[in-house]
Structure formats: C-alpha cells, structure tokens
Homo-oligomer: A and B are copies of this chain.
C-alpha cells in the first residue's frame, strides 16, 4: 500500500464517469471543467501533503485497521493527540488553499460510523462494525476520497419523514432485496462530491419507531447507476470561465457543492452499516455533527488566516498599515480567529475514548466551537471589508487591463503605496472579495453558518450537554437551600 500523490488522485477521479449537471448541461468529463478544477486541486493538496517532507509527519498515520501507513484524512482517531492533530492539519490545509478542501466529511462520517456500529452491534447483535472496518480498510488502502451525505431536503419542516407529501424528501429504503436494498432520495449541500470516489450515506435526524425505512447508513460509489449530481451555483462562479481569470480571486483553489439525487440505487449488503435501527440514528447524527463541528475549528481558522494575511497586506499596500485603528482591527481579527481555534483544540484535547476504541470529541465544546464559527467569520469579513476600502466593491474587471484606454487609467489611478504594484494590489483585493462576497464566501460564510448544522442545532446540544441541573444543585448547596 502506498499513499497517492496529488497527481495520482487527479488521475483516479479522471476516470470516474459521473452523472453531473452543470449550469443546465449534462457533463460527463469533469477533469477539464474549469468550474470543477479548482476544487479538485484543493483535494489534491491533501494528497501531496502526505509526501512533502515538511508535512508528512502531520499527514501520515499508522492505520489502526491495517497497521499500514494511511493519510490522516482517512484515520480512525486513536488518541486525543490524533484529534488535536486533525485540527492542526485542517488549519494547515485552510491556510494553503483558502477554501474548503472537502476531505473532512468522509473522515468525520467514518469515525462516527465506527463507534456507532460497534454499539449497535452490542445492543442488537448486528454485524455492522466488522463490515465497516473492512470497508474502511479498503478506503485507507486505496487512499480514496469519501463524501459524507447527511442532509435530506426535508420538505415541510413541520412534518416527520413519513408524513411528507412525498416520502422521498427524506432518503429512504424503497425496496429490500435478498442481496441488498434499493434507496431513493436526495442529499443536499454535498461539498466535494464531484471529487469523491465514494459516498457514505447517513440519516439526517433522530428517527422514531415506525420510521425504519429512513434509518439507512450505507456506502455508494459516486458514479453508481442512478446517482445524479446537480451543480450548486456560487457567487461569481462564472468568473472561472472568463478569458481573463484575474477576477476569480483565488487563482488555484476553490470549493464546490452539489445536490445529489439517488434514483433507485441498489446497495449490496456488504455496504450497509445500519438498516432500520432507529435507536442509533440520533447517536450517529450527533457524533458525525460533533466531529464536523470540531473540523471547522481547524479549516475555517486556516481560511481566516488567509483573510487576515490578505487584509494586512492590502493595508500595507494602501499605505495605512501603521494607523492604530487598522492595527487594532487586525488584532481583533486574529483574536476571533484564534478563539475558534482554541475551541477546536479544546474539544479535541478533552475528547474521550469510545467503547469501540476510537476517540470522540468533547460534545459540549465541539458545539461551542461551531457556534462561534457561525459568528466570528462574519465579523472577520466585516473588518476585512472595512480595511480593504471601497475598491472591494468597485474594482474594474481585469479584462480592462487590455483595453487601450481603460488599462492605462487603471494602472495610473489605482497605484497606491510606492512599494507595491497596482496589479498585485488588485490581486489581493480580488482574493478578499472572493472570501467576503464571492465564490469563497460560500465556504467561508454560508457554510460556516450551516455546515454541520445551523446554529440552533448547536444551541440545543449545548443546552443538553451543559449539566444545568448540576450547576443549580451547586448553587442550592452554596446557599443551603433545600
């Protein structure tokens, strides 16, 4: 077994023949597609890091399943140190790609399924855990990208899955056969799906007795028959298709989301890790969500680092970096960004061993982490906008640079600090625009709000995990109230 390089990864997904629909067109070959390429490069970065001398140590682990080397992005966490290192690795990738690198969802799904199947087997006598170990050992050995698929469309939010006008609005078992099941439904907001080899499907909420048909956890290849991917638009996405690529902002990397439809997809038994055990659906959701809320304590911090660096750079280029209010705002950006990081680290360092042997994050602190992620990136974006100046919203197109009249005027009038070039100033502004109001803002702002659950989901978990009764009991005791 050997870990893939970035190029080997790119080759491996080149051969996948996905059913993708992009901007109204069916598109089979995605490797040359300029809307998809940047997001593939971001995934490839996670492969290359396992080979570079400076990062190899952080990105390579010994697999607990095969005792062979594995990429940490496929690791079953063996210690709190592993949890901490996951966050560090994510921050590192965020800093270097300035976008979502998409490979965490599968990692978080795997660790959640690993421990949940163990406990499910213990209670119900099922045999999911070994089956999952086998499946995941294969993933590690092939060094694949796996997308975790949780969010169902949900239809009318006031109704349960079985009460929806259309039962498919929550992905469900349509038919049970001897060798497997047929599923139907859709999963929304699937980041990285077009760059993945495999999909781990999980239920989206705590199911109740009578809702067994929606309690399905299984693996499906991304190119399986019946699987359709519909591209989700991002702000300014088509700038990637323009002749002058200068307006994209992030010249190399990007994120991507799709809506994935499962139209009567057959799943063989060996790829099923839960079927009908509604009592473990909530546990699975909660664990996956908490791992993923931890993840944001790394990746979004890394993107935040980029935004901070770009803001400090534009301040310098604008000639205002010595102004005390500018320095103060940059310190505030750092402070907020590091507060998120502290939460990512803390929920890892106080993690605990599960009965299955892998390590779980501290559920309370992971949710606290994510709730801060739904707030602070917005304030970072606001402060970056403040320091960048109005040009952030009124910058001419890079296409103008070729215009014989407009080009020279832009060079002349957008010159700022003598130490920097106008074209570089424009590049930095476009990067900031990408993150606060462009394609990158989908990952940095909207996903920070909704990824791994909207804020209310975290608040509910925080309320549950905080031992409020215990706090009240201690007050009673202090005050000698009976």
Contact = CB atoms under 8 A, between A and B. Distances in A.
A156 B96 contact: no
B331 A462 contact: yes
Interface stretch (A2-10, A130-138, A194-202, A243-251): A243-251
A283 interface: no
Nearest to A460: B331
Place the interface of chain A in its size category: 35 or more
30 contacts: A23-B400, A24-B403, A153-B415, A157-B320, A157-B417, A168-B412, A188-B391, A189-B393, A235-B433, A236-B236, A250-B478, A259-B396, A259-B413, A309-B468, A324-B324, A325-B459, A338-B364, A338-B462, A342-B342, A343-B343, A385-B450, A390-B449, A390-B454, A392-B446, A393-B446, A428-B479, A428-B481, A431-B478, A431-B479, A437-B442
Nearest to A88: B350
B233 A395 contact: yes
A301 B415 CA distance: 35
Interface in A38-54: none
Contacts of A154: 416
Given A24-B399, A231-B397, A472 B416 contact: no
A412 to B, nearest CB: 7
B431 A437 contact: no
Nearest to A402: B24
A406 interface: yes
Contact of A189 (B96, B369, B379, B390): B390
Contacts of A455: 386
Contacts of A416: 154-157
Nearest to A186: B413
A390 B446 contact: yes
A411 to B, nearest CB: 11
Interface stretch (A63-71, A114-122, A141-149, A310-318): A310-318
Taken together, the copies of this chain in the complex come to: 4
Nearest to A151: B390
A368 B338 contact: yes
A230 B368 contact: no
A463 B334 contact: yes
A367 to B, nearest CB: 8
A219 interface: no
B306 A471 contact: yes
A165 B238 contact: no
Interface string A455-469: 110010011001010
A215 interface: no
A21 interface: yes
Contacts of A396: 21, 230-233, 259
Contacts of A316: 472
A418 interface: yes
Interface in A18-60: 19, 21, 23-26
Contact of A328 (B325, B372, B399): B325
Nearest to A374: B386
Contact of A235 (B242, B409, B437, B466): B437
